[in-house]
């Protein structure tokens, strides 16, 4: 994913679910690339709530779901993403 080629699964997705640890710089770069390469595809990002402020700029325009996730919280985040309801630009 960090190479010039794109991810075929992400290219065809209605919603992208991102669950890599943002503490890792490589994972942050992958999220940046996903946002750049798929600007019209909503991205749901699993993130511990205490890390949201530290990654605020990176999370802008995404739909965070706080870990630990529940079935209800991920369903809610994906539905909001599909409807285009922003959770970070309030």
Query: What's residue 90's pLDDT?
Result: 34
**Residue 34 lies inside a defined structural domain of this protein:** yes
**Residue 3 lies inside a defined structural domain of this protein:** no
Domain that holds residue 46: 8-83
Mark out the alpha helices in the chain (DSSP H runs): 8-12, 25-37, 56-59, 71-83
**Residue 88 lies inside a defined structural domain of this protein:** no
**Residue 2 lies inside a defined structural domain of this protein:** no
What is the residue-level pLDDT of the chain in tens, covering all 90 positions? 555 456 788 888 999 999 999 999 999 999 999 999 999 999 999 999 999 999 999 999 999 999 989 999 999 999 999 988 665 543
Residue 69 per-residue DSSP state: P
**Residue 1 lies inside a defined structural domain of this protein:** no
What predicted TM-score, i.e. pTM, was given to this entire model?
A: 0.83
**Residue 77 lies inside a defined structural domain of this protein:** yes
Residue 78 near residue 15 (C-beta atoms within 8 A) = yes
Query: What's residue 89's pLDDT?
Result: 43
Number of domains in the chain: 1
**Residue 89 lies inside a defined structural domain of this protein:** no
**Residue 20 lies inside a defined structural domain of this protein:** yes
Q: How far, in Å, CA of 61 to CA of 8, rounded? A: 22
Q: How far, in Å, CA of 28 to CA of 62, rounded? A: 13
Query: What's residue 9's pLDDT?
Result: 87
* Cβ neighbours of residue 84 closer than 8 Å, sequence gap 6 or more: 42
């Amino acid at each position: 994913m960090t190479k010039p080629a794109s991810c075929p699964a992400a290219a065809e997705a209605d919603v992208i679910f991102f669950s890599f640890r943002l503490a890792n710089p490589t994972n942050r770069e992958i999220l940046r690339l996903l946002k750049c390469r798929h600007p019209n595809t909503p991205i749901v990002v699993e993130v511990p709530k205490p890390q949201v402020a530290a990654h605020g700029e990176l999370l802008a325009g995404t739909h965070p779901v706080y870990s630990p996730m529940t079935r209800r919280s991920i369903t809610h985040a994906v539905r909001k993403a599909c409807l285009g309801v922003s959770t970070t630009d309030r």
